[in-house]
Amino acid sequence: MPARPVGSVEVITGSMFSGKTEELIRRVKRAILARQRVQAFKPRIDDRYDPHRIVSHGAISVDAIAVATSASLEERILDTTDVVAIDEAQFFDRGIVEVCDRLANRGLRVIAAGLDQDYLGRPFPPMPELMAIAEQVTKVNAVCSVCGGTASRSQRIIPKATTVLVGGSESYEARCRGCYEPREVPPAPT
Ligand code: ADP
Ligand code: MG
Ligand code: ZN
């Protein structure tokens, strides 16, 4: 073993319900089994479930720290940490790219999960940049809720005219390329 391990950035990406969080948790649990010291983070904006845990749609979870910015994430990294896991990375500011790069340069293993596209099918910053600097990118797929095919898109099914709408199956469903309808959902009449 080298005295100072070589760090890396791994990205797990795909649509909603594609198993990004499950895959992140799987890697975290294996790292803990290997006696690595892990710190897991999520953006404070993602308040769908427990604020102190990363929880998948299938209800598996790990402890996590909710932080508002990439700077506050970086400040909380302990000297003893080997692995940093980040869920919902698309909700972080662009500084998350440099933070992940710096941590990897210091020898840490960084695993970041997040949406590759928003609900209009547009690349979801800062995920494209994160994917570019990563050593390894894993794309995962959901099951299309219309035809049962391989889903790669997140279809917003309720009206709300903002890019960021934190929600689950009440607001979004997974769709394949053929069943996905890229359109602005008109705001509900007031
Ligand atoms: P992500 O983090 O990508 O949104 P999660 O890891 O939280 O996804 O959840 C994946 C789980 O969601 C699956 O194991 C399954 O139990 C559930 N699920 C619900 N709807 C779907 C769907 N349309 N396709 C695949 N999995 C789904
Ligand atoms: Mg998730
Ligand atoms: Zn389909």
Q: Assign 178 to helix, strand or coil.
A: coil
Taking the centre of ligand 2 as the mean of its atom positions, its distance from the CA of residue 151, in whole angstroms, is 15
Catalytic position from the list 10, 74, 88, 173:
88
Of the candidates 88, 73, 97, 109, the residue with the CA atom closest to the CA atom of residue 13:
88
CA 131/CA 12 separation, integer angstroms: 9
CA 172/CA 165 separation, integer angstroms: 10
Structure-token pair, residue 109? 């293993």
Please report, for residues 23, 41, 143, 155, 159, the alpha-carbon distance to residue 30 in angstroms, rounded to integers and kept in the order given: 11, 17, 26, 32, 40
Q: Has 88 been annotated as catalytic?
A: yes
Q: What is the DSSP letter of 187?
A: P
Of the candidates 83, 108, 79, the residue with the CA atom closest to the CA atom of residue 32:
83
76 inside domain: yes
Contact residues of ligand 1, CB 6 A cut-off: 14, 16-22, 56-58, 142-143, 145, 174
Per-residue pLDDT of 114-132, as tens digits, reads 999 999 999 999 999 999 9
What percentage of residues in the chain have a pLDDT greater than 90?
Answer: 78
- Among all bound ligands, the one having the nearest atom to the CA of 145 is 1
180 inside domain: no
Per-residue pLDDT of 100-112, as tens digits, reads 999 999 999 999 9
Which domain does 132 fall in, by range?
Answer: 8-140
36 inside domain: yes
120 inside domain: yes
46 inside domain: yes
45 pLDDT band, cuts 50/70/90, is confident
Structure-token pair, residue 110? 């960084």
Q: What is the CATH number of the domain that holds 91?
A: 3.40.50.300
- Among all bound ligands, the one having the nearest atom to the CA of 88 is 2
177 inside domain: no
- Report the nearest atom of ligand 1 relative to the CA of 22: 6
168 pLDDT band, cuts 50/70/90, is confident
168 inside domain: no
Res. 188: pLDDT tops 60: no
Helix (H) or strand (E) holding 61: strand 61-63
Q: Quote the number of domains for the chain.
A: 1
183 pLDDT band, cuts 50/70/90, is confident
